[in-house]
Amino acid sequence: MGPHHPSMHGVLRHIVTLDGEDVVDCEPILGYLHRGMEKIAENRTIIQYLPYVTCWDYLAQNTN
């Protein structure tokens, strides 16, 4: 399945079982994109860190 952007690697993966060109089974695997958020938060106050919270899951903004 593709094409997709390189930064999307690890966020959503599909394991697809095919019978010829027919999709028999599809198993979605949800992941996350690690960006070292704990290390960023070590030297910031909660107010300074709030903008980073939306970066944890950058797809969540679309569903809110």
Residue 23's pLDDT is 93
Is residue 27 within 8 Å of 45, Cβ to Cβ?
no
Residue ranges of the chain with pLDDT lower than 70? 1-11, 31-35, 54-64
3-state SS, 11-32, equals: CEEEEEEEECCEEEEEEEEECC
The per-residue pLDDT for 2 is 60
- pTM, full prediction: 0.40
Predicted pLDDT at 62: 57
Residue 22, beta-bridge partner list: 19
How many angstroms separate the CA atoms of 28 and 17, rounded? 12
